[in-house]
Amino acid sequence: MSRFISSKFNSLTPYTPGEQPQERKYIKLNTNESPFPPSPMAQRLARQSAGDLQLYSDPECKALVKIASQKLRIAEDEILFTNGSDEILNFAFSAFCDKDNPAVFANITYGFYKVFAEYNGVPYSEIPLKDDFTLDINDYIGINKTVFIANPNAPTGIALSKGEIERIVSSNKNNVVIVDEAYVDFGGESCTDLIHKYDNLLVCQTFSKSRSLAGGRLGFGVGCKELIADLNTIKYSTNPYNVNRMTMSAGIGALCDDKYFVTNCKKIKDTRKYTEEKLKELGFVMTDSKANFIFAKHSKIGGKELYLALKEKGVLIRHFETELLKDYNRITIGSDEQMQAFIDILKGVLEEMI
């Protein structure tokens, strides 16, 4: 740290992204990326846009907004695209939290919420999940704070039903409830249509997982037009050209190629089921994941030991050092071939370790 850093940031602990190793080729099951390349249509449109990169991108993302609004059956002023969904989440912390409206989220959830709260200087509290990692919605009914809920949750993959989310939203009419649906396409129930019933609901989604565009950085939020206008105030005060031309075009391609999207989501769900069965046979217990990852622990081996042993053998999974999560690892669902290789290597590792 230099002696020049503002005092408002000198105790900020930044988010630690999952490893992106460049030196060795791993079977990479650690950052919930899709194992499938972007849709051919997305790739083609992005390539075409490369020739126009001398021009700024459309700050209103009009072409993308038009298609997304048709697909989601919402008005064009009810959606805002951002540089990954991390950006819309950050905007939501800036726009909707302050000392009178502190943020609240689960103690085990997406680790970035805490960082966004600290970065924006807003007070926040964390509500413990139950011992089985499920969330008790009663903890959030009428809480009168700005609620952030990942649904399905990370890193557990456990999902709340749409009815449960609706109860939280309807009981907090004077606060915004932000539902982060980064993993919803792998088995969760989306709440996007509830934005027409509740003016305090913001639903965020990403193209990073089910639409294979993690490297393109594209996310969005949907909510009533007044909420979206507030978020636009933050966007136009920080980075109006937050979505670049190639990503915008790739996003259009990804949205138009429904068949590719539906097929890939189904493949991930089928492979998740297969992998869960194999892990159970090998002595793992796991949460009921509706996401593109499995959150699992072995009764005889610590999470870190297993993570390190697999890394040594060329398989990367995600380990969290915190006390509540340290027995577990999060394993992204890759292609069938990747998961078979993972299971074969895991069997060898378990034989050596037990």
Contact 182, 4 (CB under 8 A): no
Beta carbon nearer to ligand PMP, 178 or 309: 178
Q: For ligand PMP, what does the binding mask look like between residues 93 and 112, x meaning CB under 6 A?
A: -----------------x--
Smallest gap from Cβ 158 to ligand PMP, in A, equals 12
Interface stretch with ligand PMP, choices 99-107, 206-214, 269-277, 328-336 (CB under 6 A): 206-214
CB of 81 to ligand PMP, least distance (A): 11
**90 contact partners, CB below 8 Å, separation of at least 6:** 116, 119, 120
Q: Between 84 and 223, name the residue whose CB sits nearer to ligand PMP.
A: 84
With respect to ligand PMP, which residue has the nearer C-beta, 38 or 219?
Answer: 219
Q: Please report whether residue 35 would count as binding ligand PMP according to CB under 6 A.
A: no
Separation of alpha carbons 95 and 202, rounded Å: 12
206 scored as a contact of ligand PMP (CB under 6 A):
yes
Q: Tokens 């609901």 — which residue?
A: 201
Indicate if the alpha-carbon torsion angle 245, 246, 250, 256 is positive or negative.
positive
Return the ∠ at Cα 313 (arms to 310 and 318), rounded to 5°. 30
Distance from C-alpha of 278 to C-alpha of 295, rounded to nearest angstrom? 14
CA 320 – CA 108 distance, rounded (Å): 11
Q: How far is the CB of 196 from ligand PMP (least distance, A)?
A: 23
The 8-class DSSP code of residue 19 comes to P
Nearer CB in complex with ligand PMP: 182/296: 182
Using the minimum distance from each CB to ligand PMP, give the nearer residue, 208 or 212.
208
Cα–Cα distances in Å, from 202 out to 7, 85, 97? 32, 12, 13
Which lies closer to ligand PMP via its Cβ, residue 36 or residue 144? 36
Which residues in the 155-194 window bind ligand PMP by CB under 6 A?
Answer: 180, 182
In the window 210-269, what residues touch ligand PMP (CB under 6 A)?
A: 214, 219
- Angle in degrees, 0-180, between the axes of helices 84-96 and 225-238, rounded to the nearest 10: 100
Which one of residues 33, 86, 230, 276 is an interface residue with ligand PMP (CB under 6 A)? 86
Among 149, 150, 202, 252, binds ligand PMP (CB under 6 A): 150
Q: What tokens does 72 get?
A: 């989601």
CB of 281 to ligand PMP, least distance (A): 28
Distance CA 150, CA 34 (A): 19
Least distance in Å: CB of 249 to ligand PMP?
18
Q: Which of 35, 84, 157, 187 forms a contact with ligand PMP (CB under 6 A)?
A: 84
CA distance 16 to 118: 14
Strand partners, 328: 297
Residue 71 CA, chain-centre distance (Å), reads: 21
Per CB under 6 A, contacts with ligand PMP among 297-326 are: none
How many residues bind ligand PMP, per CB under 6 A? 12
Q: Does 33 bind ligand PMP (CB under 6 A)?
A: no
Helix (H, G, I), strand (E, B) or coil at 123: coil
CB of 239 to ligand PMP, least distance (A): 14
Distance, CA of 263 to chain centre = 20
Residue positions counted in the chain: 354
Query: CB of residue 234 vs ligand PMP: minimum separation in angstroms?
Result: 16
- Give the interface with ligand PMP as residue ranges (CB under 6 A): 84-86, 110, 150, 154, 180, 182, 206, 208, 214, 219
